[in-house]
Amino acid sequence: MSTSTSTPDGITISLITDPADLAATYDIAAAAFGIQVDDAVWKALRPDWSHPLARAHLIARDTRGFHKSTAPASANPRTGLPPTIYLKATVTDASTNHVPTIAGVAIWSQLSFVDGWGATPSADLPGADAILVEGIQPDAETAARKIKLAKQVFASLMARRMEVIREIAREDEGSGKRRENPGVFALDLCAVDPKFQKRGLASRLVQYGLDEAREKREDIEAVVEGSVMGRSVYARLGFKPVAEVEYNVDEELLNGTTLPSNLFMRTRP
């Protein structure tokens, strides 16, 4: 499978290899989830996301994650592939004055509880205690509340995913065997700049991951927590609905905020 796919309409899907692109992909996700749909889950996981200092802090965090996941030491021993791939959709046409412009992003992670089949998943928010920029917090109580909210939202979002990955790894009681390919390829993020939506970019970012799971990652299944905006795309590409995400979050942390619907979906329910 090629590391990029191009089409006559000026859209290219490719792996992100330069971490400098992560600033653009953060801004795309912020435009789609933070502004366009006002997604309380995305925002809870990125406190103060619109503040310039927080933006820089969160991009730096993403960059550290990128370097860690793409380092040779992190490669899967079975396939030699990185545990996580970062994709970008680039548009080069009249709407961009024929200047290549990053217009979409997707992040896919291979996960498993079986050695050699993916990174070990966790319901603990990575680096939770370092997600805030201290200088912009009004007080310690507010900072602690933001961290606690982020942890609870992430754990809720990951609960069904964790359950399914454990189920896949579990040996059958009768035969003592487990699934031949006991890992999943999880779509952690898919976002398209609102200026470039309705052009099929999301479908192509998702299809790239599905093709990689099938052709390069030993035909593991794919999973996603689908937002209302994205789930129609996922369904069209073969994901089946399993269950709504149930949020186990303290009411006082929400302060009247309603957490949006997310539907856990998988390609082999």
Q: Return d(Cα 68, Cα 77) in angstroms, integer.
A: 16
Burial 102-131 (b: 16+ CB within 10 A, else e): bbbbbbbbbbbbbeebbbebeeebeeeeeb
**∠ CA 76-181-107, rounded to 5°:** 55
Q: Is the pLDDT at 34 greater than 70, yes or no?
A: yes
pTM of the model: 0.94
Whether the Cβ atoms of residue 154 and residue 144 lie closer than 8 Å to each other = no
Whether the Cβ atoms of residue 181 and residue 175 lie closer than 8 Å to each other = no
Q: What is the mean predicted confidence (pLDDT) over 70-74?
A: 92
Q: What pLDDT was estimated at residue 173? A: 57
Q: What pLDDT was estimated at residue 147? A: 97
Pull the structure tokens for residue 190: 């898919």
Q: What pLDDT was estimated at residue 54? A: 97
What pLDDT, in 10s, does the model give residues 91-137?
999 999 999 999 999 999 999 999 999 999 999 999 998 999 988 99
Whether the Cβ atoms of residue 245 and residue 262 lie closer than 8 Å to each other = yes
Q: Is the pLDDT at 160 greater than 80, yes or no?
A: yes
Q: What is the mean predicted confidence (pLDDT) over 180-201?
A: 96
Query: pLDDT tier at 158 (50, 70, 90 boundaries)?
Result: very high
Q: Could you give all domains of the chain from N- to C-terminal order, each with its CATH number? A: 4-266 (3.40.630.30)
Q: What is the mean predicted confidence (pLDDT) over 29-42?
A: 98
Q: What pLDDT was estimated at residue 177? A: 78
Query: pLDDT tier at 179 (50, 70, 90 boundaries)?
Result: confident
Q: Which amino acid is at 211?
A: D
Q: Is the pLDDT at 21 greater than 70, yes or no?
A: yes
Pull the structure tokens for residue 18: 């330069």
Q: Is the pLDDT at 8 greater than 70, yes or no?
A: no
Q: What integer best gives the mean pLDDT of the chain? A: 94
